[in-house]
């Protein structure tokens, strides 16, 4: 079944810059390969974690290209193509299709508060521009628009719409979206803090911004969910949440904290692009503690079957 390849753990790829802040081919490819070796199912390229909205078209195309050069055919690749204008979003969508991406995804339009009819037209134009399956990206925390069941059902009438990456906090939304589309669609859990809950309520897997810094833990959580080991699933989710709370407790963006940790693990992805802020001062020391917490948590769960 064509949808099988979308079931599982999909880290959202981090933006990878060189030391001058330009997109780095080498660093993008090495992060993709690193995640491939960890055993993830696929990658979500150019989303929030990819700092999409702070990059121009050429930069976003470059990242799409480097990720496909690294892991095309080995991992399922989803391109996030949401951009300020419909025109730019379609350019990215067509480019991802040319590169052989497996699927497309997009947030609703940003900045102007547009009616649902405009959101519908925006997504539909993107979808019509290629033959690829499309996954709506519902992330009300950043876009200000919360996908209604009504619009979701309307979108599902288009057979290329194959599901939703749902980052709203109510797990009930995941259940309702899955109920609306059933086996014909994929629902990705968005909030990493609720991976296990999302899976239990109907998500087929997840796309997440913190997977990349601790893929082992999400892969393990997935194993527990699949095998029905709910006691362990709940316990590992608790450990994951301690880490996420630490990642979001420092000054600077969570992505810069994550990148500092990956640096300590030997993977330099540069920093984040302004207006996102880097980690500085005393917080740099706290990064080491979080890295140790991640390492010890991975070690602890490695042994658990």
Ligand X SMILES: CC(=O)N[C@H](C=O)[C@@H](O)[C@H](O)[C@H](O)CO
Q: Just list the catalytic residues.
A: 137, 165
Point out which span in 61-69, 113-121, 204-212, 285-293 binds ligand X (CB under 6 A).
Answer: 204-212
Is 207 among the annotated ligand-binding positions? yes
* Closer of 70 and 232 to ligand CC(=O)C(=O)O (Cβ): 70
CB 131, CB 160: distance < 8 Å: yes
Q: How far is the CB of 215 from ligand CC(=O)C(=O)O (least distance, A)?
A: 14
Q: Tokens 């899955």 label which residue?
A: 178
Closest to ligand CC(=O)C(=O)O by CB, 14 vs 152, is 14
Name the closest residue to ligand CC(=O)C(=O)O (Cβ): 47
- Closest approach of ligand X to the CB of residue 7, in Å: 17
Q: Rounded to whole angstroms, how far apart are CA atoms 138 and 144?
A: 10
* For ligand X, the closer CB: 195 or 224: 195
Determine if residue 192 is left, alpha or beta; phi over 0 gives left, psi from -120 to 50 gives alpha, anything else beta. alpha
- The answer to whether the Cα torsion of 16, 21, 24, 26 is positive or negative is negative
C-beta closer to ligand X: residue 71 or 107: 107
Which positions from 34 through 73 interact with ligand X, judged by CB under 6 A? Answer: 48
Element (H, E) at 267: none
Residue number, 68 or 166, with CB nearest to ligand X: 166
Least CB distance from residue 167 to ligand X, whole Å?
A: 3
Residue from 8, 209, 212, 270 binding ligand X (CB under 6 A) = 209
Selected binder of ligand X within 15, 139, 250, 258 (CB under 6 A):
139
CB of 223 to ligand CC(=O)C(=O)O, least distance (A): 21
| Cis status, amide bond into 275, omega within 30 of 0 | yes
Kindly state whether residue 103 participates in binding ligand CC(=O)C(=O)O, applying the rule CB under 6 A: no
Beta strands in the chain (DSSP E): 9-11, 42-45, 76-80, 103-106, 134-138, 161-166, 186-189, 205-208
* Segment holding 129, helix H or strand E: none
Q: How far apart are CA 103 and CA 5, in angstroms?
A: 10
In sign, the C-alpha dihedral spanning 256, 10, 103, 134 is negative
Q: Is 205 in the site for ligand X (CB under 6 A)?
A: no
**2-31 residues near ligand CC(=O)C(=O)O, rule: CB under 6 A:** 12
Sign of CA dihedral 48, 51, 54, 59: negative
Quick one: 62 exposed, middle or buried, by C-beta within 10 A (0-12, 13-18, 19+)? middle
Min CB(248)–ligand X separation in Å: 6
Residue 141 interacts, among ligand X, ligand CC(=O)C(=O)O, none and using kind-specific CB cut-offs from 5 to 8 Å, with ligand X
Helices (H), the chain: 25-38, 57-71, 86-99, 116-128, 140-143, 149-156, 171-181, 195-200, 215-227, 230-247, 254-264, 283-302
Strand partners, 206: 9, 189
Interface residue with ligand CC(=O)C(=O)O, options 8, 82, 205, 208 (CB under 6 A): 208
CB of 105 to ligand CC(=O)C(=O)O, least distance (A): 8
User: Which residues define the annotated binding site?
Assistant: 207
Interacting residue ranges for ligand X, rule: CB under 6 A: 48, 139, 141, 167, 190-193, 208-210, 244
User: Which residues define the annotated binding site for pyruvate?
Assistant: 207
């Amino acid at each position: 079944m064509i949808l099988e390849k979308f079931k599982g753990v999909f880290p959202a790829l981090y933006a990878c810059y060189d030391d001058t802040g330009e997109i780095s081919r080498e660093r993008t490819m090495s992060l993709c390969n690193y995640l491939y070796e960890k055993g993830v199912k696929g990658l979500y390229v150019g989303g929030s974690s990819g700092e999409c909205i702070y990059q121009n078209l050429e930069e976003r195309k470059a990242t799409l290209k480097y990720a496909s050069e690294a892991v095309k055919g080995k991992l399922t690749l989803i391109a996030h193509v949401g951009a300020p204008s419909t025109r730019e979003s379609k350019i990215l969508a067509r480019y991802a299709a040319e590169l052989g991406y497996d699927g497309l995804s997009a947030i609703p339009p940003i900045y102007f508060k547009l009616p649902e009819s405009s959101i519908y037209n925006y997504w539909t134009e993107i979808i019509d521009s290629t033959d690829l399956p499309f996954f709506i990206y519902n992330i009300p925390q950043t876009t200000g628009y919360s996908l209604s069941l009504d619009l979701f059902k309307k979108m599902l009438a288009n057979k290329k719409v194959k599901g939703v990456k749902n980052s709203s906090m109510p797990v009930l939304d995941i259940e309702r979206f899955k109920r609306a589309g059933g086996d014909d669609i994929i629902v990705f859990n968005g909030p990493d803090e609720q991976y296990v809950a999302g899976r239990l309520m109907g998500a087929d897997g997840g796309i997440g911004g913190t997977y990349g810094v601790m893929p082992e833990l999400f892969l393990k959580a997935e194993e527990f969910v699949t095998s029905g080991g709910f006691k362990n699933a709940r316990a590992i989710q608790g450990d994951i949440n301690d880490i996420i709370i630490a990642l979001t407790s420092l000054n600077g963006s969570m992505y810069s904290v994550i990148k500092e940790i990956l640096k300590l693990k030997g993977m330099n992805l540069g920093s984040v692009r302004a207006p996102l802020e880097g980690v500085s001062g005393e917080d740099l020391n706290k990064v080491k503690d979080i890295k140790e917490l991640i390492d010890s948590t991975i070690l602890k769960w490695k042994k658990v079957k």
